[in-house]
Amino acid sequence: MTRIMIVDDEVAIRKALERFLTGLKYDVFTAKDGEEATKILSTETIDLALVDLVMPKLDGIELIRKMKKEQPSVVSIVLTGFGTITSAVEAMKAGAYHYLTKPFELDDIASLIATALEHSQLKEENRLLKKQLREKYHFENIIGSSDEMANVFDLIEKVSESDSTVLITGESGTGKELVARAIHYNSPRKDKPLITVNCGAIPEELLESELFGHIKGSFTGAVATRMGKFDAADQGSIFLDEIGDMSPKLQVKVLRVLQEQRFDPVGSTNTHQVNVRIIAATNQDLDRSVKERTFREDLYYRLNVIPIHVPPLRDRGGDIPLLIHHFIDRSCNTANKCVQDINKETMDVLCSYAWPGNVRELENMMERLAVLKSGSVISLEDLPPKVVEGSVGDVFSASSSGGQGDLDIPDAGMSFKKAVDDFESQLIIGALKKTGGNKNKAATLLKLNRTTLVEKIKKKKLEAEV
Ligand SMILES: Nc1ncnc2c1ncn2[C@@H]1O[C@H](COP(=O)(O)OP(=O)(O)OP(=O)(O)O)[C@@H](O)[C@H]1O
Ligand SMILES: [Mg+2]
């Protein structure tokens, strides 16, 4: 039952409203001023409050402000005695939903209450939906619902709390930078800077002064003293991207920061002390670089306190439809270039393509399609030939024409996992069709355990095919 509180110092109004609203099957509470109202609010859950503005002790505006702060879900409607628009406006600013001037018709108040409640219910539903969405994807801009990404989200959450050094690994375009940002912006340092340095893009001599700063005259061209990125990141985080490209000399300096949080700017012996969290990323296999002695072992172990590996897109094919819809939605929101949809056949091909450039490649393709196909549905002929040729379906057709063991692996590579998965599904569907959907017989036909088969059917969501 909806619970309404009437706050008015005039007994007659309180009584009249109480009788009227009880008759409408509302649960009614009454208070003669803001103070009494506050007491009620401390023990009861109230959905809506009718609040007189001028009252002794705590007045209407103050009460509304208080409710807005302490119990924002209460909808308030203001009753103004003298029709003073200014105080009504003030009440709206304080968070009231609407106002009525006295004297009012009871019917008006009934319909205003109904609309206000409907409005607040909608708002609440929206809030819940948004919350669910946030919880589902967790880090709003990192899309993924595969087990592999759930694992990454889990790690992000765990490491965000701490100051531990994190090493993010993964192929190019898998989303390493997004992960680094998510870690910083979910950490206690989120209100302090996150400074990104791409160690692979800057020549060694410049990188040193970029990271640690330099003093005037320390080298040709150092016309003024300059602060480094480690100084800029003090109290916050620094993201050292492509750390595998860093020269051994700089590796030593970074190791010192990791161990002591200290460094000397170029040309200076005036040691700087900082408090910086280091997040590093690389698409190289640092294990191998250590063996090949291009990367310092001690630095590797220091960096690799908490490793986060972002798997390539081909190993989490289930995320592809989600990402495709995300990029379509995003282009619709920003550029006025909105594709209507994508047909199933095309989606299937995109799902079985190997995506050597990972999410970045998919993102670029979707951006291009949004421009080219604005207003229409994306179909197979819109895709670049290499994508259509590289899809797993094609490998299978090559196999049936070319015979066993004669698979044509596309130049762009392909997902082994997805291909095996698809082949399994085809076998199961084939067996089920042959046995008229009889799982026992299908299991015998495939020389599988019945339980194994049933599990696979469930996991692959093949029930509909039976
Ligand atoms: N899970 C994801 N959800 C949404 N967008 C993503 C996701 N992963 C990557 N992207 C997008 O793909 C692009 C590449 O991601 P990012 O720059 O983080 O990759 P990277 O691993 O750092 O690549 P590189 O090694 O080439 O620097 C970005 O535009 C990013 O927004
Ligand atoms: Mg990157």
Measured from the Cα of 180, ligand 1's closest atom is 18
Domains of the chain: 3-132 (3.40.50.2300), 147-311 (3.40.50.300), 314-398 (1.10.8.60), 415-465 (1.10.10.60)
pLDDT at 119: 80
Question: Which of 168, 174, 319, 364 gets mutated to test ligand 1 (max ligand atoms within 8 A of its CB)?
Answer: 174
Which ligand sits nearest to residue 170's alpha carbon? 1
Taking the centre of ligand 1 as the mean of its atom positions, its distance from the CA of residue 188, in whole angstroms, is 24
pTM score, whole prediction: 0.61
- Regarding the beta carbon of 143 and ligand 1, being less than 6 Å apart is answered yes
Taking the centre of ligand 2 as the mean of its atom positions, its distance from the CA of residue 238, in whole angstroms, is 14
If we measure between CA atoms, which residue out of 308, 27, 79, 346 comes closest to residue 182? 308
Alpha helices in 319-462 (DSSP H): 319-335, 344-352, 358-372, 385-389, 392-402, 416-434, 439-445, 450-459
CA dihedral 457, 458, 459, 460 (to 10 degrees): 50
CA distances 151 to 154, 178, 437, Å, are 5, 15, 36
* Residue 332: exposure state from Cβ atoms within 10 A (0-12, 13-18, ≥19): middle
Q: What angle do CA 44, 49, 55 make, to 5 degrees?
A: 105
CB–CB of 304/167 below 8 Å? yes
Give the span between the Cα atoms of 266 and 205, in whole angstroms. Answer: 10
Measured from the Cα of 168, ligand 1's closest atom is 21
CA dihedral 392, 397, 401, 404 (to 10 degrees): 40
Q: What angle do CA 89, 90, 94 make, to 5 degrees?
A: 115
Most distant CA atoms of the chain, gap in Å? 93
Give the span between the Cα atoms of 250 and 246, in whole angstroms. Answer: 6
pLDDT at 465: 64
pLDDT at 137: 39
Per-residue pLDDT of the chain (466 residues; tens, 9 = 90+): 889 999 999 999 999 999 999 999 999 999 999 999 999 999 888 999 999 988 888 889 999 999 988 888 899 999 887 656 678 788 888 889 888 888 888 999 999 999 888 888 777 776 666 655 544 435 768 999 899 999 999 999 999 989 999 999 999 999 999 999 999 988 899 888 899 999 998 998 899 999 999 988 888 888 888 889 999 999 999 999 999 999 999 999 999 999 999 999 999 988 999 999 999 999 999 999 999 999 999 999 999 999 999 999 999 988 999 999 999 888 887 767 788 889 988 999 999 888 999 999 999 999 999 888 888 889 988 998 888 876 655 445 444 444 445 677 777 777 788 788 888 888 898 898 888 888 989 998 898 888 889 999 888 888 776 6
- Regarding the beta carbon of 176 and ligand 1, being less than 6 Å apart is answered yes
pLDDT at 466: 60
Taking the centre of ligand 2 as the mean of its atom positions, its distance from the CA of residue 179, in whole angstroms, is 10
The continuous run of DSSP H or E covering 68 comes out as helix 60-70
Taking the centre of ligand 2 as the mean of its atom positions, its distance from the CA of residue 429, in whole angstroms, is 41
- Regarding the beta carbon of 360 and ligand 1, being less than 6 Å apart is answered yes
Give 155-198 as a DSSP string.
Answer: HHHHHHTS---EEEE-STTSSHHHHHHHHHHTSTTTTS-EEEEE
pLDDT at 411: 75
Q: Which structure tokens are listed for 461?
A: 């969501």
- Regarding the beta carbon of 30 and ligand 1, being less than 6 Å apart is answered no
Taking the centre of ligand 2 as the mean of its atom positions, its distance from the CA of residue 327, in whole angstroms, is 19
Taking the centre of ligand 1 as the mean of its atom positions, its distance from the CA of residue 450, in whole angstroms, is 42
If we measure between CA atoms, which residue out of 309, 167, 172 comes closest to residue 240? 167
